[in-house]
């Protein structure tokens, strides 16, 4: 019997839980808080490190199992979506580039301050070069609350798109290539360099049109169960996380084969 299994059985007994249950960090804390003598007894033994090994290994095993379960759930969801794809809004207001009639559309939910999104941007650029007119990319804003510069960046991107969708894409690319420079001064500098109206962009960034657009993107992401960035829909097939280009290619290949 493994150390983690022995620990799990002991804690399950203390919690009156089924022996097959996976104990969380809170479960562990509850058991030890309720039974301090267990901790003291273990620490009085000569091999104190064994006790800590029990705790660490049990927690690691729980996290590993949790990750496996999440990966399996996502894979099952993905398989179902090949037959019943998710349907994002792709109307006139969508920030898209590429052939509108492309057989493959990747919708990206992204955060300008997220380092994983920066890598995701590079991956999409590689895919655009590989697939050319057969691929369209649609950008959706999903600024995360713990990235303080993500929302302002999204606001300026949408504000510039009201003046020039083409130049807004240049702004988009430049932000992901220079994440360390994000800030109001940098947004204004880029806007000026692009030959756009800085005062109008600053005003539009705080306007209702931009606010409503970003809120609509966020609502859509949450509707699809997206909680973090980056996340993608490839012809409606979800891919959540910072996956390499190969993961996109596998889905694209399967979509083409299914046709």
Segment (H or E) for 69: helix 48-83
Q: DSSP readout, 191-242?
A: HHHTT--HHHHHHHHTSHHHHHHHHHHHHHHHHTT--SSSEEEETTEEEES-
Report in angstroms the alpha-carbon separations of 59 from 25, 35, 39, 56, 63: 7, 18, 16, 5, 6
Which residues are bridge partners to 139 per DSSP?
Answer: 95, 108
Q: Residue 239: give the domain boundaries.
A: 95-258
Average confidence (pLDDT) over 196-224: 98
119 and 246 both lie in a single domain: yes
Q: Is residue 90 part of a domain?
A: no
99 and 69 both lie in a single domain: no
145 and 113 both lie in a single domain: yes
Of the three residues 48, 83, 118, the one that is the final residue of a domain is 83
172 and 231 both lie in a single domain: yes
100 and 72 both lie in a single domain: no
Q: Return d(Cα 128, Cα 248) in angstroms, integer.
A: 12
Segment (H or E) for 109: strand 104-110
110 and 67 both lie in a single domain: no
Q: Which residue has the higher pLDDT, 179 or 30?
A: 179
Overall number of domains in the chain: 2
52 and 140 both lie in a single domain: no
Mind listing the pLDDT tens digit for each residue in 22-40?
Answer: 556 676 667 767 776 665 6
Q: Is residue 239 part of a domain?
A: yes
Q: Is residue 89 part of a domain?
A: no
101 C-beta neighbours (distance < 10 Å), count = 8
Answer whether 105's CB lies under 8 Å from 61's CB. Answer: no
61 and 132 both lie in a single domain: no
User: Residue 225 is part of a domain; what is its CATH number?
Assistant: 3.40.30.10
Mind listing the pLDDT tens digit for each residue in 187-208?
Answer: 999 999 999 999 999 999 999 9
């Amino acid at each position: 019997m493994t150390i983690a299994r022995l620990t799990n059985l002991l804690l399950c007994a203390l919690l009156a839980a089924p022996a097959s249950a996976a104990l969380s960090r809170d479960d562990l804390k509850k058991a030890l808080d309720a039974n301090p003598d267990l901790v003291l007894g273990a620490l009085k033994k000569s091999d104190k490190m064994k006790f800590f090994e029990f705790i660490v290994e049990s927690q690691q095993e729980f996290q590993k199992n949790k990750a496996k379960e999440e990966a399996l759930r996502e894979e099952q969801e993905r398989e179902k979506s090949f037959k019943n794809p998710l349907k994002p809004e792709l109307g006139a207001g969508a920030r898209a580039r590429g052939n509108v009639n492309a057989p493959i559309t990747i919708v990206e939910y992204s955060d300008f301050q997220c380092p994983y999104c920066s890598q995701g941007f590079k991956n999409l650029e590689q895919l655009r070069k590989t697939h050319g007119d057969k691929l369209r990319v649609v950008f959706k804003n999903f600024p995360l609350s713990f990235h303080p510069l993500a929302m302002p960046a999204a606001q300026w991107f949408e504000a510039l798109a009201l003046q020039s969708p083409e130049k807004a894409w240049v702004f988009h690319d430049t932000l992901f290539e220079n994440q360390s420079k994000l800030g109001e001064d940098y947004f204004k500098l880029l806007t000026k360099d692009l030959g756009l109206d800085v005062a109008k962009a600053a005003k539009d960034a705080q306007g209702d049109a931009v606010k409503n657009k970003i809120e609509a993107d966020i609502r859509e992401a949450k509707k699809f169960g997206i909680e973090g960035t980056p996340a993608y829909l490839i012809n409606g097939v979800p891919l959540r996380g910072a996956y390499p280009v190969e993961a996109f290619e596998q889905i694209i290949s399967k979509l083409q084969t299914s046709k």
